[in-house]
């Protein structure tokens, strides 16, 4: 009985740990996309100002 609870508990911790990794990964992807958009806008402005 105790072993089952422990297994479920560790599973939940691992699950949330994975979720945390997923969230961090998504945040980094979003950050990269935002930086790419900013870089494109800067490039467009440079082209327009020439």
> DSSP string spanning 3-29?
HHHHHHHHHHHHHHHHHHHHHHHHHHH
The reported pLDDT for the residue numbered 5 is 66
Cα–Cα dist 15/25, whole Å? 15
The reported pLDDT for the residue numbered 32 is 92
Residue 40: pLDDT over 90: yes
Cα–Cα dist 3/30, whole Å? 40
Q: Could you tell me the pTM of the whole model?
A: 0.52
Q: Using one digit for the tens of pLDDT, what is the confidence trace for 6-32?
A: 677 778 778 888 888 888 998 999 999
Domain ranges of the chain: 1-49
């Amino acid at each position: 009985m105790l072993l089952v609870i422990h297994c479920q508990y560790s599973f939940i911790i691992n699950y949330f740990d994975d979720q945390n990794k997923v969230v961090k990964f998504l945040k980094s992807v979003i950050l990269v996309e935002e930086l790419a958009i900013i870089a494109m806008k800067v490039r467009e402005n440079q082209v327009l100002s020439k």
